[in-house]
Structures are given as structure tokens and as C-alpha cells.
Amino acid sequence: MSDDKTTHFGYQEVPVGEKQERVRAVFDSVATRYDLMNDLMSMGIHRLWKRRAVEMAGVRRGQRVLDLAAGTGDLAEKFSRIVGPDGEIVMSDINEAMLSEGRSRLVNAGVVGNLDYAIANAEVLPFASDSFDCVTIGFGLRNVTNKQFALDEMFRVLRPGGRALVLEFSHPTVAPLARAYDLYSFSVLPVMGKFVAGDADSYRYLAESIRMHPDQETLLSMMEQAGFERCRFVNLTGGVVAIHRGYKL
């Protein structure tokens, strides 16, 4: 963020008040093709990334989990089956179209009974302090206007002993991979978005938003600043994706 009044929307500098609406417009546009595009963009590898995040979350039966930027519910579905009928998953997203798409998908998959839904801004969560055993955000933090506010809120709503996980695109750690990734992101993704989702601009923004996201060490420091302890991150696919985890002790 360059000053108090502007922030990044991809590579553009926009008024802070505009970013949320612009991000909402992006996901309104791609919601119905989001899952298909995820499979095509990552060649299905996103499923393995999410599986690893669920493993690192260490969620147990009967626990209460908040999944932020839940989108179409991949993580929420997995957590729902783990916590069982005595647990609860709150599936939250700022984008109504994405949350509606996720709710329909999970209902059709028979995932009911321990799921609640909330339209919420990650920077100002409408939940009581110390109320969740685990808070996750998968591929959503880079779209938040003030990421530090969101991390602060994740810490606030966690119970002592709880943990937070951030699954997000990050910065490749190998130079040849980074060059190939840039070529793919800026040459292939917008074309794929145009023909599959009918929206090249939204996928160009998504590629830009990844490049503007803090690198692994910076995000680790931001989690520590929010109050998390025992913070660590794991790089996946050469740093294309990273999972950050921290605890509220």
C-alpha cells in the first residue's frame, strides 16, 4: 500500500474504497466456472495443495472451524467430514456469488448438518473473540485490501491453542521455474480465462494479484505481528504455493 488512500488492485493503484468492489466484480464474473478453471489452471494439482493444508490444520472431531474466502467449498467440505456431527464449519466469503455456488455444490454433494454460511469481510469478522479452534483462508488473502487487518482478525477469533492456516500462491524459489511461471501466468491464463470463463481480464488480475502478494518470509512476519506463535511455512511445487501456519497460545 503506497499511502493511506490507495492500494493495489493487481498492478493498478486504486482508491482503497474501490478495491473491494473490484474484487467482488472479478469473482461475480468467474463464479460459475471457478472450479473448472482451477482444475485447468493447475492441472488438478490444487487438490493436492488443499489436501496438504487440511493435513496441516490438524482439525479433530467436534471442533469448530472458520473457513474464510471459502469460495466453492473445497476446504469446508473436507473439514465438515472430519469434525463430524458434533463439530461445526462456518463457510465464509465476502462474495455472495461464490458463497452461493459453494453452498449449492456442497448440498448436492450431501454435505449438510454441520455447515453454516456467512457473508463476511475478513478484515472485520462478525464473530466473537476466542470462538474457533481453527481458521483457514485458501487462495483468498491476496485479494484482501488490508492483509494485516485480516490476520489480526483471524488471531482474535481463534481460541487459545487454536491455529490459523493461510494457503496461498507465493513466490517460486527456483529461477527457471519463476520464469516459466511468469510466462504461463501472463500469456496462457488470460487466454484460458477468455475461452473457458469468458473473461480474460479477471484472470489477468488474478495473475497480477499473485505477484503483488507478500513473499513467504514477509507473510510469516505479518503473522507474527498479528500475535501468532510457532509460525512456519511449507513451500509446495517449488514455492508456487505456500502454506503458512501459526498458533494462538
Question: What are the tens digits of pLDDT across the range 52-87?
Answer: 999 999 999 999 999 999 988 999 999 999 999 999
Range of the domain at 210: 6-173+204-247
Which parts of 109-171 fold into alpha helices (H)?
147-157
Instruction: Choose between 86 and 109: higher pLDDT.
Output: 86
> Could you tell me if residue 183 is inside a domain?
no
Residue 191 lies in a domain: no
Strand order in the sheet with 241-247: 115-119, 88-93, 64-68, 132-138, 158-169, 241-247, 229-236
| Structural contact between residues 83 and 89, judged by C-beta atoms closer than 8 angstroms | yes
Is residue 197 in a domain? no
pLDDT at position 77: 95
Q: Domain tally for the chain?
A: 1
| pTM summary value | 0.89
> Residues 30-40: what's their mean pLDDT?
78
- CATH number at 223 reads 3.40.50.150
Q: Are strands 229-236 and 241-247 parallel, antiparallel or unpaired?
A: antiparallel
Strand partners, 163: 134, 247
Rounded CA gap, 160 and 249, in Å?
A: 5
Higher pLDDT, 215 or 37: 215
Q: What angle do CA 25, 27, 30 make, to 5 degrees?
A: 110
Q: Is residue 187 part of a domain?
A: no
Q: What pLDDT is attached to residue 1?
A: 42
Asked if the structure places residue 178 within a domain, the reply is no
Q: What is the predicted pLDDT for the residue at 192? A: 86
pLDDT of residue 68: 98
- Is 186 a member of any domain? no
pLDDT at position 4: 59
Across residues 18-42, what is the average pLDDT? 81
pLDDT above 90: percentage of residues in the chain: 67
